[in-house]
Structures are given as C-alpha cells and as structure tokens.
Amino acid sequence: MERGLYIAASGMLAEQVRQNQIANDLANASTPGYKADRSSQQAFADLLLQNSATGQTIGPLGLGVTIAQTTTDLTGAPVRDTGEPLDFAIEGDGFFQVRTAQGNRFTRDGQFMRAANGTLTDALGNPVLNQRGGTIQVQADGTVAAGSIGVFNVTNPQKQGDSLFTGTANGTATGQVRSGALEGSGTDPARSMVDMITSYRAYEAGQKVIRTIDETLNKAVTQVPSISG
C-alpha cells in the first residue's frame, strides 16, 4: 500500500480529534467555570531513506502524526457579578467539591441551587460539600454563607465531562469564595475559531494528498499497461 496514503490519513485523523475538542470548547463558551482543552500532535518515528544502489543516505521520511496528549488549561477566568444569592465563584486557586453517584468530584462551576430538602446542589442535583465533606443547608432566606462552602486544593485534576474533575483533595486551597458571582468560561471564542479554521485547512490538505495519490495510482494501473503494450 502507498505509504503516502497512511501519512495523509494519520494527519486527517489527528485533525478530527482536534476539531472535536475545539467544537466542544466553543459549545461551552458560556458555561460558568468551564476549562478549555488543548490538543498537541507528535510525529511518528522517521524512516531513513537510502539509495538502494549506492547506499548513500537520502534523508528521513515522516510516517505521519498522532495526538500526543490533550491537556486542560486550568487558568482562572474573569469573574462577573450576577446578583444571584446561590451563585459562587472562586477567586484564585481551588475547586468546589460535589458528591456524585460515581464518587466525589470537583468543579469550578458555582451555579448552585436549592434542592427540595434544602440542600445546596449543583445544576445536576449533586450535593455541594463543605470543607469537612458534609452537605450544606440553604438558609430560610435563600442564601448560603460563602465561608460555609469548601474550597479544595486538588492533586492531578483530570476533566470528566464538561465541568467535573476527578482528583485527590489535598487540603484547603488559597482561593476565596465570592457570593453573587460566577467565573466565566475559559474558552476564547476568537482563538478557538482561528484554531478551527487552521485545523480544517490541514484536514483539507490531507484530503488533497490522498486524492492526488489515488489519481496517480489509477493512472499507473490503467494507462501504463496500455503504453507498454
């Protein structure tokens, strides 16, 4: 099989992964506390080409690319006031902790609400925890003291879904909880759109390479034998 087909196809597959990641970032451009992802690519090991007659080195030939890793940018986003009593933002480092059916998870999305039993929960109904790991009750006037919400330092946070993270709680973080406010999304729409266009152009280039190789192989199969005959 023509090696060029594999090289071009590997680049297209890598760009598909990158486009999916960028599209998800754009979809969450308005999600409070969302953290954008970054995908990096790496090349496969090069193949060293040599002249079959003389043994002289010609040079390396790349064998394609793959996604090396996808990392999450945990840089804090600007905080905006909402005036809602159950909206909270962390200014500085740290995460809120919620209790899910899969275990405790961490989030920067402080758009909370009051459950039917008076417990403070996130938008998915997961109870928000205090620094001791207990649930938090919303007061009769519909408010919660900012100091009652836990702010956790998390070791090795890994995104799970759009707003939740796994990791290990490691004491109290230095960030301060601010009530009546939300942290914005970490997505930069302008940058994401530029990245999407760049990725699409790279994908198109891979398509053109495959089309060219296919046309060349077709000519080799259909025209060369007739010329030789």
Q: Please name every residue paired with 95 in a beta bridge, in sequence order, or none if there are none.
A: 152
Residue 44 has pLDDT above 70, yes or no: no
Q: For 118-145, what is each residue's pLDDT tens digit?
A: 999 999 999 999 999 999 999 999 999 9
pLDDT at residue 119, rounded to an integer: 97
> At residue 102, what is the residue type?
Q
Exposed / middle / buried, residue 110 (Cβ in 10 Å: 0-12, 13-18, 19+): buried
Look up the pTM and report it: 0.78
Residue 223 has pLDDT above 70, yes or no: yes
For the record, the structure tokens of 81 come out as 């006031």
For the chain, counts of helices (H) and of strands (E): 3, 14
H or E, element range at 212: helix 189-222
pLDDT at residue 184, rounded to an integer: 96
Task: Report the percentage of the chain scoring pLDDT > 90.
Answer: 66
CA 84 remoteness from chain centre = 29
- The packing angle between helices 3-27 and 189-222, to 10°, is 160
Q: For 173-198, what is each residue's pLDDT tens digit?
A: 999 999 999 999 999 999 999 999 99
At 8, is the secondary structure helix, strand, or coil? helix
Residues 6 or more apart whose CB falls under 8 angstroms from that of 219 comprise none
The answer to whether 37 and 73 have CB atoms below 8 angstroms apart is yes
Residue 98 has pLDDT above 90, yes or no: yes
Residue 229 has pLDDT above 60, yes or no: no
Q: How many CA atoms within 13 Å lie on the side-chain side of 68?
A: 6
